[in-house]
Structure 1
Amino acid sequence: MALHVPKAPGFASMLKDGARHYSGLEEAVIRNIDACKEFGQTVQTCYGPNGMNKMVINHLDKLFVTNDAATIIRELEVEHPAAKMLILGAQMQENEVGDATNLVIILASQLLKEAEDLIRMGLKPTEIADGYEKALDKALEILDTLSCMEVKNTKDVEQVKKAIRTAVMSKQYGHEDFLAELISKACITILPEKTTFNVDNVRICKILGSGVLKSEVVSGMVFRRNIESNITKKENCKVAIYTCPVDAMQTETKGTVLIKSAAELTDFSRGEETQLENQIKAIADAGTGVIVSGGKIGDMALHYINKYNMLAVRLTSKWDIRRLAKATGAIALPRLTAPTSEELGMADKVYLDELGDTEIVVFKVGSEESRLSTIVVRGSTDNYMDDIERAIDDGVNVFKGLCKDGRLTAGGGATEIELAKQLAAWGETHPGLEQYSIGKFAQSLEVVPRVLAENSGVKAKEVISSLYAAHAEGKKNVGFDIEGEAGDCKDCCESGVFDLLLSKKWAMKYATNAACTVLRVDQIIMAKRAGGPKPRDTSGPMDQDDD
């Protein structure tokens, strides 16, 4: 007779064995808030110019040394569902603005930390979330009034440089002026008249050696490749792009050929050679000056390419081929056929150059719609150049934001303190329980100057009190001075520390939405994992338990 084993009572009885279920304030809400607080504390030490780096080794054993929150969260595989909410908010910020991802996580985790105090006081999580949403609406309203400068002409290097400088400063403190100028030039040279600015049109080519100050902007595309042919320079030439190898076609079936005489042997290979020569000649007759191949270029084909005075480049990356096709206006052909005039692209100049001991191929393209510029980054190590690349990405994204909305606000925590001051005053006029949530929302905004101060090794409380004192006198643009004496404050507009209003706006939206979503979760139901037993962890002794 089989014994009937009773299951756990309540909701858990409906789930499969091994499923986990948490509900209620203590179990679900507070647990989630704790996870988000921990996650927020991890990335907040990276915030600002004095932020620390994190060393992340991803699942492929690739090493990242960076203080870029977007890279950290992309390479960390976070499992906790509530912390994942914050990551989703940060990823949305990355897609929308491309900068201030760290701000989303820091602000969201701070909002949840403040919410925990209110929950312990007896407020319902839904009431807190409602209050936060009201505070957000008011904060965005106030934010529109706090613009202290506007970039009206996005083709003016000096104006654009001011906006990009702060974004670069948080990643590459010390080289911000040099890099901001490089990025401004690269973006302005390719800014189209009518269509919107495309971030992908600014490419980065990293070449090991020398120092960051030897980096430069090249208009066109730069590849770390060698030129296959004897000809190394072409001007005002037509470009044919092939995704297939430029070589004699292999026969599909295997066959045995019986050759009886020397004449038959020479005739046998001559047919293949003649066919290949005819193909290359047809390409040359179409007016082609440069052949770009996505596969290998055979020795025989190369002989005929040299014979017909063409330049040959081999690119291994499909991505590069697609971008080059877009830049030159060519159509990438899948078979080795003579291109028509529509399938050929144009390049002003294609030539071989050398930087340090690295050979590069430069494609200069001058057409209006597909102008590209490449920032050639120099540096002593690959990790260092990767970090510079991330700083440049942020700068280019800020430029994209400037093209949409040129308004800038004061950086250094000045905007957040002003928002906190005005929100706290507005919250006190509310009669209901919302005033507590609005007050806490205002307090959460103090996290920005506080983290900047802590990362700079300054007492945060003193900084925040002196900021409030300055703002009470009507100095709206006073923020924390990173470069001054300990605890100093300064007018950020005068010292040129600006933040993009657009990135602040989206960061506050995504942070509040993420925090409210986490607050509105009252049950966590985790199904049993699919699949068999977990693979044995080989890192420890062999006789360890497998649970």
Structure 2
Amino acid sequence: MAQVSGYPPIIILKDDVDASQGIGQIISNINACEQVVEVLHSTLGPRGMDKLIQGSDGKVTISNDGATILRVLEVVHPAARLLADIAKSQDEEVGDGTTSVVLLAGELLRQAKGFLEDGVHPRVIIYAYREAHRMISERLKQIAVDVSGQLKVLRADPERVSTEEREAARALLQRCAGTALNSKLIAQYREFFAGIAVDAVLALDDDLDLDMIGVKKVNGGSVTDSCLVAGVGFKKTFSYAGFEQQPKKIHQPKILLLNLELELKSEKENAEVRVQSAAAYQQIVDAEWNIIYEKLEKIVATGARVVLSRLAIGDLATQYFADRGVFCAGRVPDADLQRVARAVGARVQTTVHDMRVEEALGTCEWFEERQVGAERFNFFTGCKEARSATILLRGGSEQFLDETERSLHDAIMIVRRTLKYPELVAGGGAVEMELSKFLRERSRHIQGKAQLLLAAYGKALETIPRTLCENAGFDATDLLNKLRAKHATSDENLWFGANLETGEPQDCWQNYVWEPVLIRANAFASATEAACTILSIDETLKTETSDKNDAIR
């Protein structure tokens, strides 16, 4: 409600609208974001703790992945939800660094809160933060190590590249994947899973399409029983009688993929048919049988030895195919069917009439059904049209398998991004300490409030190594002072970060703590934009919709 002198009040908003504005509202939003940061604070790094979250449906999630935790928590505060969004964006873009981006955004806001309370205008802080981000982005490009020369041998002709060069390039990727897995629940198996992640990505075509990597979880067995299959695999679908009589291993089969139901169904339409004789009634009964037999004959006539369908394949069709040495599987999940189609070069058919057999059918070197634990899987290997890989994860519990899958996804994303953008930096807080030193030095040459704000941005960057030390149980103040001294004394020490085994500084590059520069660049950009967005919101309006019509409007 607004009022002008001499005039009656003007009602702008409904009575039930909650309006909060001013610097107090910005600080309130920052406080909400700090609560989110507090939840994730202890999960960062190799010594980070895990969170056990029980959802409203009773499902239990155990994870230390920032994006997963915030997704399961379902943050409802509108400002704090921005942090959940940037964690999700970081996860989708590069796969790792989801906790780091939230901690950094929260620390930038915490540094800004003091300036806001002292009367600095939010726009001044926003401008300084964006200028600081521009500076560290340029510095990050300068210090990044280009490894494209070492990685190009992986895509070169094997006859022109020595085994030693290929192994060196593979070891480089494995170290990047190992750094990502170092903070996960499966950290003690990081070398094993890093090798699987690297082999899975290298098994793909040059486009590195992640859709061609399938991850299947099988309860039971040891974690080290997990393996990689160079091809497409999926769990055996529901099958009818006659399935066991079908062939379970076929060499160079022709493969037909259908989106078609091969099953007898009782009529559901409310139809009335008048017949004059028993023979006429029998013709109606036989009509559906004739239709399905016609479809089955046309399928067998194509020469296909493997038939997969997105819809059901009933007992009649199953036995029909078994009698003719054809393997069939119905109700195949759409994602698996699409992977098979791309890998074997087949096209999903919606009808069996007028098929162009040459275009419809695909092939591979081997089709085989194998037992994996208590489950049976169908595998297509030796695919020529598109290279694919399937990872079979083993483990004792569903929660452990879920977290293993999330961890492996992060490692696969890191390897993929390293191949596409082959520039690396050292982890362990080394790059943050170097950029913090760089900003502090640059801020001394700038006059006015921006000098303090640039230094505050630099101090915020130190939250990553500080949190790593705190989670490892070391004195963060002492170790940060040693790291500042190392970075200040020589430019050769730019890769010095925290050794979380001894609590002392170490050269993280020499100790193979590597990660793609894209992780850090994306984290800095996302955190800065999130902080600037929250600082720019000085009013929050909350409307309670009392009836359905208000909700629609």
TM-score scaled to structure 1, two decimals?
0.89
Shift of 1:349: 1.7
Contact persistence 1:239–1:289 (CA under 8 A):
yes
Equivalent-residue separation in structure 1 for 2:526 and 2:533 (angstroms): 10
Q: Which residue of 2 aligns with 1:139?
A: 136
Question: Percentage identity across aligned positions?
Answer: 27
For residues 306-345 of structure 1, the aligned pairs below 5 Å read 306-337=322-353, 339-340=355-356, 341-345=358-362
More displaced stretch, 102-111 vs 518-527 = 518-527
**Which of 471, 479, 483 pairs up with 2:497?**
479
Q: Which residue of 2 aligns with 1:413?
A: 429
Shift of 1:400: 2.1
Count, aligned residues: 519
Q: Which residue of 2 aligns with 1:62?
A: 59
Shift of 1:203: 1.3
1:224 equivalent to 2:238? Answer no
Q: Which residue of 2 aligns with 1:244?
A: 260
Equivalent-residue separation in structure 2 for 1:62 and 1:336 (angstroms): 43
Q: Deviations over 1:494-528 (max 9, x none)?
A: 11111210110011001001101111111112222
For residues 244-323 of structure 1, the aligned pairs below 5 Å read 244-248=260-264, 251=267, 253=269, 254=271, 272-323=288-339
Equivalent-residue separation in structure 2 for 1:126 and 1:227 (angstroms): 61
Q: Deviations over 1:18-66 (max 9, x none)?
A: 111111112x111011111111111121111221111223343322111
Equivalent-residue separation in structure 2 for 1:522 and 1:297 (angstroms): 60
| SS of match in other structure, 1:60 | coil
More displaced stretch, 111-120 vs 323-332 = 323-332
More displaced stretch, 151-160 vs 103-112 = 151-160
Equivalent-residue separation in structure 2 for 1:62 and 1:227 (angstroms): 25
| SS of match in other structure, 2:15 | coil
Contact persistence 1:226–1:361 (CA under 8 A):
no
| SS of match in other structure, 1:145 | helix
**Which of 470, 480, 486 pairs up with 1:454?**
470
Equivalent-residue separation in structure 2 for 1:454 and 1:246 (angstroms): 61
Q: Deviations over 1:441-497 (max 9, x none)?
A: 000000001111111111211111111122123211111112x22x22211111111
Q: Which residue of 1 aligns with 2:164?
A: none
Equivalent-residue separation in structure 2 for 1:297 and 1:213 (angstroms): 36
Q: Which residue of 2 aligns with 1:44?
A: 41
Residue 308 to residue 86, structure 1, CA distance change in 2 (3 Å): same
Equivalent-residue separation in structure 2 for 1:412 and 1:317 (angstroms): 41
Contact persistence 1:29–1:518 (CA under 8 A):
yes
Question: Where do 5+ consecutive residues of structure 2 fail to align?
Answer: 155-168, 549-553
Q: Which residue of 2 aligns with 1:100?
A: 97
**Which of 26, 30, 53 pairs up with 1:29?**
26
Contact persistence 1:140–1:505 (CA under 8 A):
yes
Q: Which amino acid aligns with 1:357?
A: A
More displaced stretch, 31-40 vs 251-260 = 251-260
Contact persistence 1:225–1:315 (CA under 8 A):
no
**Which of 144, 147, 150 pairs up with 1:150?**
147
Shift of 1:335: 3.6
Q: Which amino acid aligns with 1:459?
A: D
Contact persistence 2:36–2:80 (CA under 8 A):
yes
Residue 509 to residue 306, structure 1, CA distance change in 2 (3 Å): same
Contact persistence 1:226–1:352 (CA under 8 A):
no
Equivalent-residue separation in structure 1 for 2:264 and 2:371 (angstroms): 32
Equivalent-residue separation in structure 2 for 1:259 and 1:163 (angstroms): 78
Contact persistence 2:226–2:393 (CA under 8 A):
yes
More displaced stretch, 225-234 vs 175-184 = 225-234
| SS of match in other structure, 1:281 | helix
Equivalent-residue separation in structure 2 for 1:371 and 1:279 (angstroms): 32
**Which of 13, 16, 23 pairs up with 1:15?**
13
For residues 292-441 of structure 1, the aligned pairs below 5 Å read 292-337=308-353, 339-340=355-356, 341-368=358-385, 370-441=386-457
Question: Where do 5+ consecutive residues of structure 1 fail to align?
Answer: 1-6, 533-547
Q: Which residue of 2 aligns with 1:127?
A: 124
**Which of 184, 187, 206 pairs up with 1:173?**
187
More displaced stretch, 270-279 vs 402-411 = 270-279
| SS of match in other structure, 2:298 | helix
Equivalent-residue separation in structure 2 for 1:163 and 1:29 (angstroms): 39
Equivalent-residue separation in structure 2 for 1:342 and 1:248 (angstroms): 28
Contact persistence 1:240–1:292 (CA under 8 A):
yes
Contact persistence 1:148–1:408 (CA under 8 A):
yes
RMSD across aligned C-alpha pairs, in angstroms?
2.5
1:164 equivalent to 2:177? Answer yes
Equivalent-residue separation in structure 1 for 2:238 and 2:120 (angstroms): 70
Counting helix residues as a fraction of each chain, which structure ranks higher?
A: 2
Contact persistence 2:254–2:305 (CA under 8 A):
yes
Equivalent-residue separation in structure 1 for 2:177 and 2:3 (angstroms): 59
Equivalent-residue separation in structure 2 for 1:295 and 1:220 (angstroms): 23
**Which of 172, 178, 187 pairs up with 2:201?**
187
TM-score scaled to structure 2, two decimals?
0.88
Q: Which amino acid aligns with 1:285?
A: A
Equivalent-residue separation in structure 1 for 2:451 and 2:331 (angstroms): 61
Shift of 1:305: 0.9
Shift of 1:218: 0.2
Residue 361 to residue 422, structure 1, CA distance change in 2 (3 Å): same
Contact persistence 2:218–2:392 (CA under 8 A):
yes
